[in-house]
Amino acid sequence: MPRTEPELLSDIRDIEIIAVNTSIRVLERLRQLYGGTRWRKLKGIAFIRTVDGEEFWAEIHWYECHGIGRRDTKVVREIE
């Protein structure tokens, strides 16, 4: 199966919580797809490799739930 999310080449640093549970817009979709009850949306900075092979530092956002882990990682912007 082809990779659709960016590959992390470093640890994520400067992690911050953006939203928790009901303040997450896509909460129902997350619960239907993955289950879980206590979802959080987080952001951080990591060195990544995109699907087309580019490598750079980027701000990334993802959703996380206890017992399920990190899901739906996306690159928000490239860091210079």
**pLDDT for the residue 11:** 95
**Residue 20 bridge partners (DSSP):** 40
pTM over 0.75: yes
How far apart, in whole angstroms, are the C-alpha atoms of residue 56 and residue 63?
21
Residue 80: pLDDT band with limits 50, 70, 90? confident
Q: Give residue 2's pLDDT band: very low, low, confident or very high (50, 70, 90).
A: low
Q: Is the pLDDT of residue 35 over 90?
A: yes
Q: What is the mean pLDDT of the chain?
A: 92
Residue 79 corresponds to which tokens in the numbers above?
Answer: 């860091």
CB-CB contact of 46 with 68 (8 Å)? no
- What are the helix (H) ranges across 1-80? 27-34
How many whole angstroms from its chain centre is CA 74?
Answer: 5
